[in-house]
Structure 1
């Protein structure tokens, strides 16, 4: 039995994590360990990656064989630990493993392993400044790209050797031998700089701590053993998955991995992120977009109510004076270059059902936030004399390159009006729930007013964008209709209860034109604009699937909704939680560890289990 088999036997109750697709990380941390070092870019070696100022490889972890040759390691990982070693047949008898001690600290230990930590990535022109701190004896890597320092501290029985190789800092952990010296291996030609060829690798192990720090921090002191650190993480994640997916069973085999994708992509407040947040990914999509968060919030409820509410409200921390939400929020950026679709009323109505004990201050706060967001769309995104609001570009819709924007980008779109119909309805419900109360900034007596606006907008949606067979988009200036075949035209199903029955039936009849064995394609497969990897011009996405499935249930088409749910869940169980999926093969596309995909699976699986239970 090799070391990888041993570690998997030790943690046989844990889900396996493929670090080539899903980063190894933990809740709260801005760091991860992965071979993915940039957009669609994977490296041969594992890297410690930071996300504070975007995605940057902070250190490369290189494993060597006995002859000093670099190896591409075989890696096994679970939520609690990662272990790497040479492939069978390679002259690399040792192994090393990693565990997160807390959000800012990792423990790394090796046994008979020749390992180097190199500042930055092999593809970087820039290398961090490295030195030994006289105050602590630790090695510091100061990296402007991540806006922080990595501090590497040797633990008992370990020494560190710091060298410069071509302007790039290299840190080598060495075992302190009984004779008082240090032994290691794995530099070029098998002889580290400053060593002799007579040095041999000790059979004992080495261990280090790696911390992300600011200007300074008290010297690191280990209080727990490596196994205890890993066990603490195992228990923490187990409690998390029990909270958000207590219903999981062999019939929902991807639920635990989906929970890990969310848990590991969660970061602590820092920079522009003012509360705990679930990033879209801890690959290169390491920000929060102002509609993605809604799906993550719904997956966290009802098991983690505080976290769910934080996930929902996080972008509202940056709501501007007109009521608009930013396009995205990251550690060092808040962008208003575009906005995102107002699915927030739809989402909060569902969230409130999952969290029936929300207190009055929370309800008042969200009511005000939704009211201001709605006023933004109906005041600042309606042309004079027009009843319908408009998008300024595809990115505003969240469906960046949808064919609905091919002819004209400034359009009155059917999905936008439908989302606002639901948002106005949600505001009416909240006003009724809060009762007759007026404050300087919140008037809850507007329930009837919200419903009047809802009905007027729903009537305008049908009157102006329904052509008798389908919903179209219209240019704001020329009023010409768009005739493309994007699934976006079916999104008004989410507001089915506010549409004429014949319109709803016609929309339901068109769903099979998009539904594949993988799920609902975002463009009809026979459309001339369909592309297998066309982003919003073909692939299957989690949020569009969830919205369509919900709309079909609202419309009374439960059997078809069941098909949509089952096919998408099966795709995730086969292909993981990619950003999107090829609509015919089901292959995962783009970023492979996308939280809203995982959340979409968790939502659909949870509701499927509840329906099956009656």
Structure 2
């Protein structure tokens, strides 16, 4: 398996640092960079790594696996590995390694084998240590700061190889001295760690083996350790541009790792609840450096928790006790604070709240009452009823069941127009004209939907060229005048609805169509990678090319539904 570092970050579990091949930007030339994922900076690129021969920068090609990043030239090579979350070791033969820092303020040498670099624009300090070989520093002083800081790491004149360590630290101005394992020892350790993770990852049909390994790598390295607002080990949405976690992505991440690592899965499900506000709302997104509360995300959390309760043995009674109160508050938030016309039907205030940011159901305005939101809340209340009974809260369980039944009755009365489900504007109850796939999410309700409604929805999904393409389900019907090939939620294929609808069909009993949707999406990922979304007609990857909910849904569909 190869990792294309121009598309998917090369990183390590727990780390807030990643390597990527980057294009030129302002005074930062094209090249391979180590980047910080911390969010309190105005520059994320810390340093560019180059290969040297006789003191000159030479061309090279990158080859990355889950555990190492190799830079090959015509004269020799350099290999990089993560020894830990903040430590990168390197080993070179017959060439040198150049580290060109981006706007570092100064460097302080410590003999011929070590130096400390202050990268104030990135809020990072870096220590470079040679374990074998020597370094040379270029850093002309310009009255109050360095013009630039370049460090060359090379073999001694009598040797052909060198070995060193690149360490990052930001919480102290002093980094204590330590000893280091050899490069070979560290490489063996990281290879064993990933091999163990891969062995425990969900199993898929054999012809997906390379894609399974890449998906497992993306999930493995996506984790960041607790820091700042991140209070538990958390799988970021991406270690490319979307470095943070959104308040529905984490549910798919949790489901994907639930069997292999129940403790990590639980951290994923709970991580946004660590920042629940006094009214029960979850933030839209968090990172180590910020919390955004401008929007929320849909209440898919009850569905995800119920899925994990059903499909794994890792959800304990203690976990359910921890989840019950915050999940109850999250449900009450929607019922109490998102029903401005007080008609018993919850509403979205913005497309971003639905997760389908620019779906055409929001084309003519907000607030909007949409049947997908009621569907999620019905399932969430049913989940709370089950948890309440397991915790001995029998009366509360009965009340949750009653509320779920009442919302279902309200939903069916409110949204069925002309034999189909239709979204409506809150207040006026004006019917919304839309051909968005979001209108099919209520299939999660299965037999609780009238059979005529259910059958009509499935029949429409099965029509090739309507929503269905060879790659999966378009987020907007292909014949819609609002369809856009790269229109975010107005056309491209996305992982979440592919999982939700494949799951819904399987629960209804339509195993054949469920498997077909799962197969089409898994084939798409095998063809086009772990992109944020995909062009419906061609399968072309779009937007962020290394998104963790895509790798997670690939593993879920391939293992559970194929």
TM normalised by structure 2 equals 0.93
After superposition, the C-alpha distances for 1:109-150 in whole angstroms (9 at most, x for unaligned) are 221224321112xxxxxx122211559963223233433212
Equivalent position of 1:174 in the other structure: 154
* 1:141 and 2:117 are equivalent in the alignment: yes
Are 1:37 and 1:56, in contact at CA under 8 Å, matched by a contact in 2? no
Separation in 2, partners of 1:468, 1:135: 81
- Whether the 8 Å CA contact 1:158–1:208 is kept in 2: the answer is no
Give the alignment partner of residue 128 of structure 2, picking from 124, 129, 152.
152
1:98 counterpart = 2:80: yes
Give the Å deviation of 1:549.
0.9
Unaligned runs of 5+ in 1: 1-14, 87-91, 121-126, 179-202, 437-443, 610-614
Report how far residue 172 of structure 1 moved. 1.2
1:36–1:544 Cα change, 3 Å: farther
SS at match of 2:106: strand
Match of 1:402 in 2: 359
The partner residue of 2:289 within 326, 332, 345 is 332
Distance 1:114 1:138, change over 3 A: closer
C-alpha distance in 2 between matches for 1:466 and 1:135:
77
Task: Give, in whole Å, the separation in 2 of the partners of 1:471 and 1:316.
Answer: 32
Partners of 2:313 and 2:50 lie apart in 1 by 51
1:337-374 C-alpha deviation (Å, 9 max, x unpaired): 10000000000001112333533221111111211100
Residues 199-278 of structure 1 aligned to structure 2 (within 5 Å): 204-214=160-170, 215=172, 216-222=174-180, 224-246=181-203, 249-278=206-235
Deviations 1:162-211 (A, max 9, x none): 42498221111133335xxxxxxxxxxxxxxxxxxxxxxxx512222111
Query: Residue in 2 aligned with 1:470?
Result: 420
SS at match of 2:445: helix
**Quick check: 1:600 aligned with 2:523?**
no
Aligned to 1:155, the other structure's residue is in SS state strand
Q: Distance in 2 between matches of 1:37 and 1:348?
A: 41
Q: Once the 2 structures are TM-superposed, how far is the Cα of residue 156 of structure 1 from its aligned partner?
A: 2.6
In the TM superposition, 1:420-439 aligns within 5 A as: 420-436=377-393
Structure 1 position 571, deviation (Å): 0.4
Please state whether the residue corresponding to 1:35 is helix, strand or coil. strand
Using the TM superposition, give the Cα deviation of residue 251 of structure 1 relative to its aligned residue in structure 2, in angstroms: 4.8
Query: Is the partner of 1:572 in helix, strand or coil?
Result: helix
Identify which of 392, 396, 404 aligns with 1:454: 404
In structure 2, what is the equivalent of residue 115 of structure 1?
Answer: 97
Specify the alignment match of 1:440 in structure 2. Answer: none
> How far has the Cα of 1:557 moved from its partner?
2.1
TM-superposed CA distance for 1:310, in Å, is 0.6
CA 1:64–1:469 in structure 2 vs 1: closer, same or farther (change >3 Å)? Answer: farther
Give the distance between the partners of 2:404 and 2:448, measured in 1 at CA. 9
Separation (CA, whole Å) in 1 of partners of 2:315 and 2:539 = 39
Query: Contact between 1:23 and 1:283, CA under 8 Å: does it hold in 2?
Result: yes
Q: What is the DSSP-based 3-state SS (H/G/I as helix, E as strand, rest coil) of the residue aligned with 2:477?
A: coil
Aligned to 1:563: 516
Task: Give me the whole-angstrom Cα distance separating, in 2, the residues matched to 1:515 and 1:210.
Answer: 49
1:499 to 425, 443, 449: 449
> CA contact under 8 A between 1:161 and 1:173: conserved in structure 2?
no
Superimposed CA distance per residue, residues 285-317 of structure 1 (whole angstroms, 9 cap, x where no aligned partner): 000000000001001011111011111111111
Name the CA distance, whole Å, in 1 between partners of 2:286 and 2:112: 36
Q: In structure 1, what is the Cα distance between the partners aligned to 2:322 and 2:264?
A: 16
- Secondary structure of the 2:139 match is strand
Partner of 1:22: 8
| CA distance in structure 1 between the aligned counterparts of 2:12 and 2:353, rounded to whole angstroms | 32
CA distance in 1: counterparts of 2:293 and 2:428, whole angstroms: 27
Change (3 A) 1:492 1:144: farther
Q: Rate the CA distance shift 1:37–1:426 in 2: closer, same or farther, 3 A.
A: farther
Post-superposition shift, 1:69?
4.8
- The more displaced of 558-567 and 242-251 is 242-251
Structure 1 residues 255 and 516: alpha-carbon distance in aligned structure 2, compared to 1, 3 A threshold:
same
Aligned residues: 550
Q: State how far apart, in whole Å, the 2-side matches of 1:143 and 1:514 are.
A: 50
1:518 deviation in Å? 0.7
CA drift of 1:248 comes to 5.9
The structural deviation recorded for 1:505 is 1.2
1:491-518 deviations in Å (ceiling 9; x for gaps): 1111223222221112112213211101
Distance 1:117 1:251 in 2: 38
Distance in 2, Cα, partners of 1:594 & 1:390: 28
The yes-or-no answer on 1:288 pairing with 2:274 is no
Rounded to whole Å, the distance in 1 between the matches of 2:220 and 2:499 is: 21
1:63 and 2:51 matched? yes
Match of 1:349 in 2: 306
Q: Which moved more, 1:348-357 or 1:244-253?
A: 244-253
SS in 1 for 2:91: strand
Report if aligned partners of 2:36, 2:122 keep a CA contact under 8 Å in 1.
yes
- Alpha-carbon shift at residue 545 of structure 1 (Å): 0.6
Which whole-Å CA distance do the structure 1 matches of 2:18 and 2:168 have between them? 12
1:514 and 2:472 aligned:
no
* SS at structure 1 position matched to 2:278: coil
Residue 539 (structure 2) aligned to one of 586, 589, 603: 586
1:37 is displaced (CA, Å) by: 6.8
Q: 1:530: how far off?
A: 1.1
CA distance in 2: counterparts of 1:168 and 1:477, whole angstroms:
61
Contact between 2:75 and 2:94, CA under 8 Å: does it hold in 1? yes
1:413·1:474 contact (CA, 8 Å) conserved in 2? yes
Write out aligned runs for 1:312-327 (5 A): 312-327=269-284
Q: Measure, in 2, the Cα distance between the counterparts of 1:142 and 1:66.
A: 27
Tell me, yes or no, if the aligned pair for 1:136 and 1:219 is still in contact at 8 Å: no
Question: How far apart in 2 are the matches of 1:565 and 1:469?
Answer: 28
Shift of 1:64: 4.1
